[in-house]
Amino acid sequence: MEKEIIIGICDDNPMAIGQIKEMTGEYLKKRALSAQLLTFGSGAELLDSESAVDILFLDIEMSGEDGIQTGKRLRERGSECKIIMATSMAERFKEGYHIGASRFVTKPFDQEEVEEALEYAFQSFIGMAAIELYESRNPHHIQEKRIRYIKSYDGYAEAVVGKEGKRMRTEKSLNRLEEELDKRLFFRISREYLVNFAYIDSYSNGVAIVGEERLQVSRRNKKEFERLYREYDLYYRG
């Protein structure tokens, strides 16, 4: 089950909102991507919304709470959305780093610049799909990025989920899970284990430490594991 990306546009200028909507629509069409677009006319309107956006175009110069103040409040609430700051004042770009802005676009907007910012944001989303896992025979849809590792047993597999290490079951084989899970995030380190790179605390000499677990990487998979683990660190680790 794939989670639809939600793109928010927060600006007190309706014309600017219209431009970003049109440019974003062009990008989505070119890339054959699907996303929900939400618009907000002020920081207060965005903060009052119950919708959790994944990507946010946030205007810096808004009346009332400006974009920087709005962004700070979002972060205080725990939002991890990818913020793309919009401004006509390049000197304010530095302020965006205080709220973890990932990209900046300048007014008047340029299609290529908007698309580059969106491409960067979309590429950072991995493990967003959900798989069905069972706990006490009750089904749950769990996002891939929450799974620490999966261990194979005879006839079933067990997933260790989240920081709390909840154990959940699936009847799918490890071979099938290896094909279905996001390959940027998961790697088959041995016949028994599929591991999520994001939860590896340290790695040395063929041993991956995941919490209190020491998981051995097989000799045949070691070289490829190390290559993809470096790639994950370089491109995807937050």
- pLDDT tens-digit readout, 172-190: 999 999 999 999 999 999 9
Q: What is the pLDDT of residues 145-158, one digit of tens each?
A: 899 999 999 989 99
What's the mean pLDDT in 206-221? 96
The burial of 125, by beta-carbon neighbours within 10 Å (0-12 exposed, 13-18 middle, 19 or more buried), is given as middle
What's the mean pLDDT in 131-148? 93
Q: What is the pLDDT of residues 32-79, one digit of tens each?
A: 888 999 999 999 999 999 888 999 999 999 988 899 999 999 999 988
Count of residues for the chain? Answer: 238
Across 60-85, b (16+ Cβ under 10 Å) vs e yields bbbeebbbbebbebbeeeebebbbbb
pTM to 2 decimal places: 0.65
Determine the angle formed by the axes of helices 14-31 and 111-123, rounding to 10 degrees: 60
Q: What is the pLDDT of residues 106-120, one digit of tens each?
A: 989 999 999 999 988
